[in-house]
Amino acid sequence: MPDHDYIAPDPQTRTLHVGSYRRVLPVSLERMYENTLDWEHLPHLHDSSFRSINCLDSGAWGWRAEVVDHKAQVSELELRLDRSRRRWITRNVSGPSEGAEIWTLVSPLAEHQIEIVVDFFVPGVPAEAKEKVGRAYAKAYTTLYDEDEAMMVARQRHLDQRVEGSRDSELLVGVATELAQRQVVAFRGREYVVCRDPQASYEVDNAKAWLAFPALCPHQLGPLADAEVVDGAVRCPWHGYQFDARTGANLSGQACRFTQVPQLVARAGQLYLVASERTT
Ligand code: FES
């Protein structure tokens, strides 16, 4: 178990400063801290930088993990969050960038607006190369924060969103033979994907030819509206959780699953969603 007390890095590292990155983000402090502690999204949302992650420990203090990057290089990273200082430090404990530290300071500007200042400290960089290395870090962080911003903004939008739609116990989706392969419909306050089951050989007017599952992931509201159904599984792009598109069961080992998914029923060539109280 690592020491979870906040430990300021060696003051020596300050002489290793190679550059900074500053950005205003349209998100709340809460979303930013959530993202900071969210080690799980790294190889999924940032798949151009990370291949896999194995969390060694985590908590409100931060996390420590073994990470494989896009060049198949293995590093141990540790992130420590100090909310009282609105700062977190990511440290390369081992690996090709051993000793490098990324210090991030966050300042709230408005309810849904923050500014971050990221400082890069990298050992072993000759003075004449510092600017170039600093620019490379800033470029990489621009991509990472582009992806994080999209995720945080979408999550906030879904948290704030009230989905309208029929409160009735069933909803006519449409005439089965005239439906598109995939549609998103609002039903009883939630949105669902209704799509053809690529594995089913039933006629299109048979309800078994179709699948219905939530358009938002039950984990953290990741987008499933465009998620492909592959071998009967739907994979969320944010953290890679996989769900059985027909039963809702989690296929990737986590506790969360689809719940209260309405049933598909076909009557006289018409496809309906019917409210289900059972957990499916
Ligand atoms: S939001 Fe995390 S796996 Fe979908």
Domains of the chain, CATH where assigned = 11-160 (3.30.530.20), 170-274 (2.102.10.10)
pLDDT score of 12: 56
What pairs with residue 69 in β-bridges?
Answer: 50
Ligand 1 site: residues with CB under 6 angstroms? Answer: 217, 219-220, 222, 236, 238-239, 241
Count CB-CB contacts under 10 A for residue 276.
15
pLDDT score of 170: 94
As to burial, measured by CB atoms within 10 angstroms (0-12 exposed, 13-18 middle, 19+ buried), residue 96 is exposed
What's the rounded Cα separation, in Å, for the pair 214 and 199?
19
Which residues, in sequence order, are CB contacts of 185 under 8 Å at separation 6+?
Answer: 165, 171, 173, 191, 192, 194, 273
Pick the atom of ligand 1 nearest to 256's CA. Answer: 3
Pick the atom of ligand 1 nearest to 40's CA. Answer: 2
Q: Which two tokens stand for residue 7?
A: 């430990």
- Provide, for the chain, the percentages of residues in helix, strand and coil under a 3-state DSSP scheme, each rounded to the nearest 5: 25, 40, 40
Question: In Å, how far are 77, 128, 192, 216 from 227, measured between CA atoms?
Answer: 30, 47, 12, 10
What pairs with residue 116 in β-bridges?
Answer: 23, 106
Q: What is the pLDDT along the chain (280 residues), one digit of tens a residue?
A: 334 444 445 555 556 899 999 999 999 999 999 999 999 999 999 999 999 999 999 999 999 999 999 999 999 999 999 999 999 999 999 999 999 999 999 999 999 999 999 999 999 999 999 999 999 999 999 999 999 999 999 999 999 987 776 778 999 999 999 999 999 999 998 999 999 999 999 999 999 999 999 999 999 999 999 999 999 999 999 999 999 999 999 999 999 999 989 999 999 999 999 998 544 4
Tell how far the Cα of 201 is from the centroid of ligand 1, in angstroms: 30
Tell how far the Cα of 217 is from the centroid of ligand 1, in angstroms: 6
